[in-house]
Amino acid sequence: MRAREWAEREGLNEQTVWKWCREGKMPVPVEKTATGVWLVHDPKYELGSTPASAGRTVCYARVSSSDQKSDLVRQADRLKAFAVSMGVGDPEVVSEIGSGMNDKRRKLSRLLADPTVTTIIVEHRDRLARMNAGLVESALAAQGRRVVVVDDTELDDDLVRDMTEVLTSFCARLYGRRAARHRAESALEAA
């Protein structure tokens, strides 16, 4: 996991953690990637060593439309490879086609409702939910479950993330209304 995430989980200031990484004073193993990102390998948070690993680990892959099915297959393969590299024996893969704005995705709802699923692996945070993915993570953490994000290179600025989520919501509502209006107009024309 990234140093920032480890600092949050441990209740430390991320500047302190980065300083420890640079000076070699970290209490757990760390590595620096080619892009300069510090990765922390804390055994208590690794997939294969937590008490939560007694349950099922599921890789959740999602794309927005059916014309992206080839992307869905590649995403599922990358997630499965990541889970295997983290020590999961035979990870289960759940694939779904549906909008990230839709809160009625059946397969994701089943995963979230199933208490035997203790770890959900997603490629990007927005594959789980376009908005309020943090709330889903917090609710799962309260149950002793967790979400593992493979590529967490999203924007770190909370204001930028919030604005993006608001704009996405407005656009979805606008285009949804427009589509509904067009459907109503075509129904009237047909009648």
pLDDT at 131 over 80: no
Residue 172, C-beta contacts closer than 8 angstroms, at least 6 positions apart:
99, 101
The 8-class DSSP code of residue 11 comes to T
Per the structure block, which two tokens stand in for 99?
A: 């909008």
The residue range of the domain holding 52 is 47-154
- Exposure of 149 by Cβ count < 10 A (0-12 exposed, 13-18 middle, 19+ buried)? buried
pLDDT for residue 177 is more than 70: no
Residues pairing with 56 in the sheet: 117
Give me the number of domains the chain comprises.
Answer: 3
Tell whether 78 and 138 lie within a shared domain.
yes
Can you tell me which residue has the tokens 């953690």?
A: 17
What is the band of 181 on the pLDDT scale with cuts at 50, 70, 90? low
64 and 100 belong to one structural domain: yes
Q: What is the pLDDT of residue 61?
A: 92
Output the domain CATH number for residue 87: 3.40.50.1390
Let me know whether 39 and 58 are in one domain. Answer: no
User: DSSP letter string over 115-158?
Assistant: TTEEEEEESSHHHH-SS-HHHHHHHHHHTT-EEEES---S---H
Residue 75 and residue 13 in one domain? no
Residue 16, pLDDT > 60, answer: yes
Question: Beta strand pairing status for 117-122 and 38-40?
Answer: unpaired
Q: What percent of the chain has pLDDT over 70?
A: 76
Catalytic residue among 53, 64, 95, 99: 64
32 and 58 together in one domain: no
Range 46-72 average pLDDT: 76
User: In the numeric block, which tokens belong to residue 151?
Assistant: 């590529």
Q: Which two tokens stand for residue 15?
A: 């500047």
The CA distance from 120 to 57, in Å, is 6
- Do residues 118 and 56 make contact, with C-beta atoms less than 8 angstroms apart? yes
53 is catalytic: no
Q: What does the pLDDT read at residue 94? A: 92
Which of 24-28, 109-113, 148-152 tops mean pLDDT? 109-113
State which amino acid sits at residue 136: V
Instruction: Give the DSSP H/E element, type plus range, for residue 97.
Output: strand 92-97
